[in-house]
Amino acid sequence: MPDTVLHHKLSGEGEPLILLHGLFGMGDNLASIARPLSEYFTVYQLDLRNHGRSFWADSMRFEDMAADVLAFMGKKGLGQVHLLGHSLGGKVAMQVALMAPGRVASLVVADIAPVYYDGNHNEVFAGINAIDLHRLASRQDAEHILQQHIEEDGVRLFLLKSLYKNEAGQFDWRLNTAAIERCYDDIRQALTSDKPFNGPTLFIKGELSAYIQSNHREAIESLFPQAQLKVIQNAGHWLHAEKPVAFNNVVKQFLLNKTRHPHAGGGPEL
């Protein structure tokens, strides 16, 4: 029977903080967040299902992915955690908080709202599907193929982080690309809940990103009535990578206000 516990990396000590990455990513993508926060928290960088080194599955409904996180918490004996998620990971984190509010001490959501998104990743799927892994000779060849479908350099480099050589010496993806494409409509859906999450919640928006808009306010406040909003100036959707110092300062200030760390010190503020 395959292991259905999410793969993770562990660092630091203190109250538990779980980090959840975005679509086509992996926990390693959040290392720039994990490093500074590991001074104050025990940080778990999780790979979501169908991503990184975690198990593959046919479903990517938010309820199922949130259940994965709760199962991980149970396996590790974590009663209550702080949760931080970016993009897809932010939606999963929100779903965890809505499903099990007593298990979430505080919630940080990076550049995503609990709403339906019309946008698509057709060019990403086209680029991935154009690569014949059996014939692929080098990462440079993969980048060249992706370039024919994806204009943004950053997106191509991001995808290539999930390309590796398996034990047979053949290129492979640390992504279940078929399942992600098949389940894509599920991960565009809005979140719903009979009861809101009343715990401390911080939404962080990239100034140049359209993922959180003013017309999302009602949806956010109905599900997360304690929500605060911070904006990272001159940052897009990958705000934690584009402006790591500003992003980490906002996160640290919020989280340290929700817990006690006798050695935290003053720390820089924005």
Reported as a single tens digit per residue, the pLDDT across 150-185 is: 999 999 999 999 999 999 999 999 999 999 999 999
Q: In the chain, where are the structural domains located? A: 8-116+184-257, 122-176
Do β-strands 201-206 and 104-110 pair in parallel, antiparallel, or remain unpaired?
Answer: parallel
Q: At residue 35, does pLDDT exceed 60?
A: yes
- Residues with a catalytic annotation lie at 87, 237
Binned at pLDDT 50, 70 and 90, residue 268 comes out as very low
Q: Are 195 and 201 in contact (CB under 8 A)?
A: no
Residue 146: per-residue pLDDT: 97
The DSSP secondary-structure symbol of 235 reads -
Q: Give the pLDDT mean for 209-222.
A: 97
Residue 78: per-residue pLDDT: 98
Residue 215: per-residue pLDDT: 96
- Percentage of the chain exceeding pLDDT 90: 92
**For residue 52, with 0-12 CB atoms within 10 Å meaning exposed, 13-18 middle and 19 or more buried, which class applies?**
buried
Residue 260: per-residue pLDDT: 54
Residue 266: per-residue pLDDT: 37
Residue 258: per-residue pLDDT: 74
Superfamily of domain 8-116+184-257: Alpha/Beta hydrolase fold, catalytic domain (3.40.50.1820)
Rounded CA separation 192/201 (Å): 17
Do β-strands 81-86 and 15-20 pair in parallel, antiparallel, or remain unpaired?
Answer: parallel
Rounded CA separation 209/121 (Å): 16
Amino acid at 193: S
Q: At residue 262, does pLDDT exceed 90?
A: no
**Whole-Å CA distances, 115 to 169, 187, 215, 216, 261:** 42, 10, 10, 7, 35
Handedness of CA 222, 98, 182, 50 (dihedral sign): positive
The alpha carbon of 62 is separated from its chain's Cα centroid by a whole number of angstroms, namely: 13
pTM comes to 0.94
Binned at pLDDT 50, 70 and 90, residue 119 comes out as confident
Residue 4: per-residue pLDDT: 82
Helix (H) or strand (E) segment spanning residue 164:
strand 163-165
Q: At residue 265, does pLDDT exceed 70?
A: no
Q: At residue 32, does pLDDT exceed 80?
A: yes
Reported as a single tens digit per residue, the pLDDT across 58-82 is: 999 999 999 999 999 999 999 999 9
Rounded CA separation 218/231 (Å): 18
Per-residue b or e along 53-76, where b marks 16 or more CB atoms closer than 10 Å to that residue's CB: ebbebeebebebbbbbbbebbeee
Long-range residue pairs from 236-243, CB within 8 A, at least 24 positions apart, any chain:
236/206, 236/208, 236/209, 237/87, 237/111, 237/206, 237/209, 237/211, 238/154, 238/206, 239/110, 239/111, 239/204, 239/205, 239/206, 239/209, 240/30, 240/32, 240/33, 240/86, 240/110, 241/29, 241/32, 242/206
Q: Are 29 and 236 in contact (CB under 8 A)?
A: no
Share the mean pLDDT of the chain. Answer: 94
